[in-house]
Amino acid sequence: MNSVKKLGSLALPVFVFFAYFFMYIPIIVLVMFSFNSGNTNFWEGFSLQWYHELFKSVEIIESLKNSLIVAFSAVALSLVMGLFFVFYGSKKFVERGLFFFYGSLAAPEIVLAVGLISFFSFFSVPLGLTTLIAVHTVVGMSYMTPMLYSGYKSIDKNLSEASFDLGATRGQTFIKVILPILYPAIMTSSLLVFIVSLDDFILSFFCAGASTVTLPMYIFSVIRSGATPVVNALSTLLLLATSFIVLIFVSLRARTKLF
């Protein structure tokens, strides 16, 4: 009986280990072959030539620029609108309005993409960088606003009342009292929205139009004919960048819980 219990207690950890092992093996192979000197599926030697080719590609630089413009714009716009919604909206209005933010997160992304492109088509809005920023801002607010509201609810209301008693206006209280306390929530939500926007493909594919290409869209167009070492190198750099952002995100979340 004891042996059966020991076997059962070991079965789940072993299963989880192999599940993650098979999930991460393709990533390890991708990173390894980004340093392969040959353009084949066999290891021919260590080389950095594909990273040199990566930084020479005009298409990759242009698509990366578009992705960064969209990501930073989505973060800035969703942050400003989220802060004003949380701080200046009435408590009842904010609590009821949060339902719409959670609803957009629950909806499948393909449904959201079809709905948005139908909206743009109905009002004859030309697709491009502007519509892409608008779409990513809508999605970004779905992540940003609930996180900001959660941080705002944890603030001691006596601090705001003390600020008002000392003669501060609502704007001064917002800038000098609320924002410094909300700093960890602002940073974590901003990093999350940045990662989501940078990695998004479905919304970008539907709402970017023919004139705008983001980095995920470029990678998709290239790998349709098979993976190349340049794409492996690009994916490796993206993996490093997003891993670094995730580490910052986790450390800020841990700091928020600690204090």
The percentage of the chain sitting over the pLDDT mark of 70, rounded to a whole number, equals 92
Amino acid identity for residue 126 in this structure: P
What is the residue-averaged pLDDT of the chain? 83
pLDDT in tens, 69-125: 999 999 999 999 998 888 877 777 777 777 778 777 788 888 888 888 888 988 888
The Cα-based distances of 69 to 11, 38, 75, 135, 178 in angstroms read 47, 34, 10, 13, 28
Structure tokens at 7: 């076997």
Domain assignment present for 225: yes
Domain assignment present for 29: no
User: Domains in the chain: how many in total?
Assistant: 1
Domain assignment present for 43: no
Domain assignment present for 209: yes
pLDDT in tens, 146-205: 888 888 888 888 888 888 888 888 888 888 888 888 888 888 889 889 989 988 899 999
Domain assignment present for 7: no
pLDDT in tens, 198-231: 888 999 998 888 888 998 898 888 877 666 788 8
Q: Write the DSSP symbol of residue 126.
A: P
* pLDDT band of 255, cuts 50, 70, 90: low
Domain assignment present for 23: no
Asked if residues 43 and 33 have their Cβ atoms less than 8 Å apart, the reply is yes
Q: What long-range pairs does 211-217 form, CB within 8 A, spacing at least 24? A: 211/128, 211/129, 212/66, 212/127, 212/128, 212/129, 212/132, 213/59, 213/62, 213/63, 213/66, 214/63, 214/66, 214/67, 214/70, 214/132, 215/60, 215/63, 215/64, 215/66, 215/67, 216/67, 217/63
**pLDDT the model gives residue 18:** 81
Residue 33: strand pairing partners: none
CATH of the domain at 139: 1.10.3720.10
Domain assignment present for 45: no
Structure tokens at 117: 């492109």
Residue 180 CA to residue 177 CA, distance in Å, equals: 6
- Domain residues for the domain of 159 are 57-258
Structure tokens at 203: 């919304």
Domain assignment present for 212: yes
Residue 46: strand pairing partners: 36
pLDDT in tens, 119-162: 898 888 899 899 999 999 989 998 998 888 888 888 888 888 88
